[in-house]
Amino acid sequence: MKSVRILQFISHLGLGGAQRMMFNLITELERPGLEVGAVSLYGPNGWELEQRLTEKKLQTWYLGKRPGFDPRILHRIRDVVREFRPNLVHSHLCLHYVFPSLARFPNLGQVTTIHLPAQTTHRRIMRGLARMAYRRGVIPIAVSSNVAEWAKRVFGVRDCGVIPNGIPISDYQCPSTSREAWRRGQGFQKSDLLYACAARLAKQKNHAMLLEAFARGPARNRAAHLLLAGDGECRPALEAQVCELGLQGRVHFLGRREDVCDVLAAVDVFVLASHTEGNPLSLMEAMAAGLPVVATSVGGVPEIVEDQKQGLLVKPHDCHGMAAAMVRLSQDPVERLEMGRAAGRRAEEEFSATRMADIYAQLYEDILATRASATITGSESPVANCTNGRHLA
């Protein structure tokens, strides 16, 4: 039986939810009848995901993109396509390069995942290219219903399917070290109450409000600590804010971590104060680790966390509400435990990377079958009925 070849494109393989989602997808698509390749427009830059792709011996290309618009990449994309000869390409965060590059391959099916409803990431020319791509048969898939609605509004997309992200659940259920050992190694007591946020230190994640909320509420309890796993351009400003709030020794910058599973296993509550989100993997990972969540109700977050069940949701920019929710969970260990157990159950049922890959594999199959049928019948719209705006999960 001839294998179906799927070529995955992404802007780069550095830190970020879209990058980890694509890696999870590629890993889970390793199955009979499917051959998968990966293309990074940038790099290689020594990122962790690059190393993991090498370890898995997956075909990977790095196109060496320069900052800003780099027209050389259009030719390099075409060269990779000629070499790999895919049946279908799937892009993440780089449709504006992939779509025009493939104009010479009119019979090649294209899917793109829309990861984030971020107005600032779509300049006018990029919006125009996206609108043209969707009119010409590129299949858009959103990571949440919220993102799908945004795509319809911004790009004029009529039919946008929804496939939520997925994670390797078992990785977060089986940490490499015990809760007590990790705490001991980091200088925390068994009785300390640890809040954690694993996210890039970027404006979108709104760590500034999180610090303010921690200062107003949980920090009044001397046993409470806030752990920030991740790094980014906002770190100097956040470190200065910690000093201004008098939180030295109570807020801990852990930097980039490869042991996030162990961090989550050792803390008590996961917190996220983002301005905007798509379908954040960090929340899924925390829930898979059995943690209750306090998060702002933005983007696809309410599709992951059911308020009052697996955690507490607050309005975006609501510092008082965030502080109150964090204090509430600090004062009720029974509620923390019950919400954490509910979070673990929901993660296991809904957030598996295998489940995500199964849905994408079925989508690829449907697209290719529909295109083959359209070629035979001469239909002008070979892909219009593949999603029809459905929540494909």
Q: Is 334 exposed, middle or buried (0-12, 13-18, 19+ CB in 10 A)?
A: exposed
Are residues 137 and 252 located together in one domain of the fold?
Answer: no
Are residues 150 and 256 located together in one domain of the fold?
Answer: no
Are residues 106 and 208 located together in one domain of the fold?
Answer: no
* Residue 254 lies inside a defined structural domain of this protein: yes
pLDDT of residue 10 exceeding 80, the answer is: yes
Using pLDDT thresholds of 50, 70 and 90, give the confidence band for residue 390.
Answer: low
Q: Is the dihedral of CA 343, 346, 348, 353 positive or negative?
A: negative
Please tell me whether the overall predicted TM-score, pTM, comes out greater than 0.95 for this model.
no
Are residues 76 and 122 located together in one domain of the fold?
Answer: yes
Give phi and psi for 271, each to the nearest 5: -130, 145
CA distances 236 to 52, 208, 231, 239, Å, are 30, 11, 10, 5
Q: Which residues contact 56 (CB under 8 A, 6 or more apart)?
A: 27, 30
DSSP code at position 3: P
Amino acid of residue 304: I
pLDDT of residue 125: 78
Domain region containing 120: 4-166+352-377
| Ranges assigned E (strand) in the chain | 4-10, 34-40, 59-62, 88-92, 109-114, 139-142, 161-162, 193-198, 224-229, 251-255, 269-272, 293-296, 311-314
> Which has the higher per-residue pLDDT, 65 or 123?
65
Are residues 46 and 120 located together in one domain of the fold?
Answer: yes
Task: Write the pLDDT tens digit of every residue in 291-321.
Answer: 999 999 999 999 999 999 999 999 999 999 9
Task: Write the pLDDT tens digit of every residue in 89-122.
Answer: 999 999 999 999 999 999 999 999 999 886 544 5
* Residue 119 lies inside a defined structural domain of this protein: yes
* Residue 392 lies inside a defined structural domain of this protein: no
pLDDT of residue 159: 85
CA distances 11 to 8, 22, 61, 92, 93, Å, are 10, 11, 12, 7, 6
**Cα separation, 379 vs 342, whole angstroms:** 48
Query: Which of helix, strand or coil describes residue 77?
Result: helix
* Residue 386 lies inside a defined structural domain of this protein: no
Are residues 226 and 315 located together in one domain of the fold?
Answer: yes
Q: Which residues contact 188 (CB under 8 A, 6 or more apart)?
A: 194, 225, 266
Domain CATH number, residue 136 = 3.40.50.2000
> Apex CA 196: angle with CA 195 and CA 197, to 5°?
135
pLDDT of residue 384 exceeding 60, the answer is: no
Q: Average the pLDDT over 223-230 and give the result.
A: 97
Closest by CA position to 7, among listed 77, 75, 107, 72: 77
pLDDT of residue 218: 97
pLDDT of residue 377: 56
pLDDT of residue 375: 62
Asked if the peptide bond before residue 280 counts as cis, ω within 30 degrees of 0, the response is: no
pLDDT of residue 283: 97
* Residue 389 lies inside a defined structural domain of this protein: no
Tally of domains in the chain: 2
* Residue 136 lies inside a defined structural domain of this protein: yes
Are residues 161 and 190 located together in one domain of the fold?
Answer: no
Are residues 115 and 230 located together in one domain of the fold?
Answer: no
Task: Write the pLDDT tens digit of every residue in 313-356.
Answer: 999 999 999 999 999 999 999 999 999 999 999 999 999 999 99
Cα torsion 330, 333, 336, 339 to 10°: value is: -150
CB 92, CB 115: distance < 8 Å: yes
* Residue 362 lies inside a defined structural domain of this protein: yes
Are residues 17 and 75 located together in one domain of the fold?
Answer: yes
pLDDT of residue 140 exceeding 70, the answer is: yes
Closest by CA position to 334, among listed 292, 272, 289, 287: 292
pLDDT of residue 118: 60
Are residues 177 and 306 located together in one domain of the fold?
Answer: yes
Question: What would the two tokens of residue 62 be?
Answer: 């790095």
Closest by CA position to 194, among listed 260, 268, 263: 268
| Of the listed ranges 43-47, 225-229, 348-352, the one predicted with least confidence | 43-47
pLDDT of residue 380: 46
pLDDT of residue 251: 98
DSSP code at position 277: -
> Apex CA 115: angle with CA 279 and CA 323, to 5°?
40
**Cα separation, 393 vs 390, whole angstroms:** 9
| Residue with tokens 């966390």, as numbered in its chain | 305
* Residue 382 lies inside a defined structural domain of this protein: no
Are residues 205 and 234 located together in one domain of the fold?
Answer: yes
Are residues 198 and 138 located together in one domain of the fold?
Answer: no
